[in-house]
């Protein structure tokens, strides 16, 4: 699991695994138009800004005492979008995304991982449906103005309606609506993780042709294409007996791994849920006593991980949700009789 789903509004593929707290500032007054926006209007505005604007910036994410950064180039031309994310910390890598095509260049191993990432349908489909989970389970509260990366930003609080999900504090650029900064908050309002532009240029002349050329230049690299097969949990023999309020099943995939003759097919199943902002993935694979020893529960920033054995199977649940929520998913997963 990566950063919270709000970051997907910006169509970024940046990892978020850090914890930080920002210095308090005195917010400016909230004008009437801003104060009256609904949660759907706020999120659609940020979505459209990320989809239509060209920008270049340095993005920093922090959680759990660690920090990472990346340089981002993003441009759109009609229905086509393309972006480049260049890591500035950790192992060197360049990730290109052209609509639903993603190419990750790992320069040290000279490998390119080519994937097609189908949209989860999180946004803006959730906001346009009659049963909008976002509007039901989050309240938007405008709370002033602050400066981020040199831009005036509206500050928005997204307060959860229950303890099944985290809250968010969002900084949205006043003129364009572009998301500049995001904090994920626990039930006490403490910052679990933060992601923000430290430097940003909006509406700059980013060359789509140059980014396309860089993305397609795989000379000298070995291309790996992970095999994903779309399926349903029911077809694979699984059911969630109790659905966590607000979370909907979005998609389900299996990653075949092959098997010996007369043995049951081995694969890892990934079942994805979301409430429109937060997401949870349930990974199920055959139990292996050599690898699967003791159940664990871990937390890195806002991302929790939980493992447990279910008969002959091993579950790994991962999500940007409270530990209680992840435990409810794990306890509700059952093998069909």
pTM of the shown model: 0.83
Instruction: Please report the sign of the dihedral spanned by the C-alpha atoms of residue 30, residue 175, residue 192, residue 320.
Output: positive
* Structure tokens that stand for 250 in this block: 């979005």
Distance of alpha carbon 261 from the chain centroid: 38
165-201 burial: b if 16+ Cβ within 10 Å, else e: bbbbbbbbbeebbbbbbbbbbeeeeebbbbbbbeebe
Residues in the chain: 337
Residue 262: its pLDDT value, please? 40
* Number of neighbouring beta carbons within 10 Å of residue 145: 18
Catalogue all structural domains in the chain, each as residue range(s) with its CATH number. Answer: 5-223 (2.50.20.10), 229-335 (3.30.200.100)
Alpha helices in the chain (DSSP H): 32-35, 39-52, 125-128, 133-137, 208-216, 323-332
* Residue 13 pLDDT class (50, 70, 90 cuts): very low
Q: What stretch of H or E contains 84?
A: strand 80-87
Q: What is the pLDDT of residues 158-189, one digit of tens each?
A: 999 999 999 999 999 999 999 999 999 999 99
Question: What's the rounded Cα separation, in Å, for the pair 120 and 128?
Answer: 15
Q: What is the pLDDT of residues 103-161, one digit of tens each?
A: 999 999 999 999 887 654 444 444 444 445 688 899 989 989 999 999 999 999 999 99
Residue 43: its pLDDT value, please? 83
The strands making up 179-185's β-sheet, listed across from edge to edge, are 55-63, 191-202, 179-185, 167-173, 151-160, 138-148
Q: Is the pLDDT of residue 294 over 50?
A: yes
Question: What's the rounded Cα separation, in Å, for the pair 95 and 105?
Answer: 6
Residue 306: its pLDDT value, please? 97
Sole residue written with tokens 């400016």: 28
Sole residue written with tokens 């923000």: 196
Q: What is the pLDDT of residues 181-234, one digit of tens each?
A: 999 999 999 999 999 999 999 999 999 999 999 999 999 999 999 888 999 999
Cβ-contact 8, 123 below 8 angstroms: yes
């Amino acid at each position: 699991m990566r950063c919270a789903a709000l970051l997907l509004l910006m169509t970024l593929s940046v990892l978020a695994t850090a914890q930080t707290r920002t210095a308090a500032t005195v917010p400016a007054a909230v004008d009437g138009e801003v104060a009256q926006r609904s949660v759907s209007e706020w999120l659609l505005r940020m979505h459209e800004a990320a989809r239509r604007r060209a920008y270049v910036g340095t993005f920093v994410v922090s959680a759990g005492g660690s920090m990472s950064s990346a340089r981002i180039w993003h441009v759109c031309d009609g229905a086509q979008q393309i972006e480049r994310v260049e890591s500035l910390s950790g192992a060197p890598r360049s990730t290109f995304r052209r609509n639903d095509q993603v190419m990750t260049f790992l320069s040290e191993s000279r490998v390119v991982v080519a994937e097609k990432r189908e949209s989860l349908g999180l946004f803006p489909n959730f906001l346009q449906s009659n049963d909008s989970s976002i509007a039901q389970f989050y309240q938007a509260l405008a709370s002033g103005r602050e400066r981020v990366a040199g831009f005036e930003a509206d500050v928005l609080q997204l307060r959860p309606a229950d303890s099944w999900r985290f809250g968010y504090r969002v900084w949205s650029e006043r003129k364009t609506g572009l998301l500049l900064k995001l904090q994920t908050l626990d039930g006490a309002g403490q910052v679990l993780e933060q992601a923000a532009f430290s430097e940003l240029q909006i509406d700059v002349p980013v060359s789509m042709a140059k980014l396309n050329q860089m993305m397609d230049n795989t000379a000298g690299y070995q291309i790996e294409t992970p095999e994903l097969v779309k399926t349903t949990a029911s077809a694979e023999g699984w059911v969630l007996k109790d659905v966590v309020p607000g979370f909907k099943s979005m998609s389900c995939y299996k990653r075949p791994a092959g098997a010996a003759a007369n043995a049951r097919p081995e694969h890892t199943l990934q079942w994805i849920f979301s409430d429109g902002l937060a997401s949870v993935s349930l990974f199920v694979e055959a139990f292996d006593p050599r690898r699967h020893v003791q159940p664990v529960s871990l937390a890195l920033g806002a991302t929790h991980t939980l493992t447990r054995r279910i008969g002959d199977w091993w579950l790994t649940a991962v999500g940007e949700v409270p530990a209680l929520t992840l435990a409810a998913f794990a306890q509700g997963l059952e093998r069909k009789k």
